[in-house]
Amino acid sequence: MDCIFCKIIRGEIPCEKVYEDEFVLSFLDINPVMPGHTLVITKEHHANILEVAEGTLERLATRVQKVARGVKDGTLADGIFVSTLSGEAAGQSVFHIHFHIIPRYENDGLVNWPYKPYAPGEREEVAKKIKTALSS
């Protein structure tokens, strides 16, 4: 595969590993939002969270939690931001499932995304559409 994360797993591209087991590899992001910004990836290729099997996702989540604790403690962060992106429209640029673990600090200057309220009746309509999709 030409996937950059698969190449990292195979050792073709170096990385700064922070954790590895038979299932995941975790390493520092080369373009960190904050020092300590860490990625957790599965060793098996899956494009994103929408395409990974449920059992695989459960195993991945336990590793993400473990690494998040290490990042928080190791960087003395006040908090941790954990995210995954699915699809180009969401900003995914490497199509191999991965979670970002970003240390956060009080007054670190990062701005969270903007929040905006629903228009009258919109919340109920959106909830109905999601419930319908979940029941099919």
Q: Which of 37, 46, 96, 98 is catalytic?
A: 98
Task: Give me the phi and psi of 31, to 5 degrees please.
Answer: -125, 70
Residue 63 one-letter amino acid: R
Largest interatomic CA distance in the chain? 53
- Within 10 A of 90 (CB to CB), how many other CB atoms are there? 10
Amino acid at 91: G
Across the beta sheet with 79-83, the strand order is 17-20, 24-28, 38-42, 98-104, 79-83
Q: Is 46 a catalytic residue?
A: no
Place of tokens 């990042």: 71
- List residues with catalytic annotation: 98
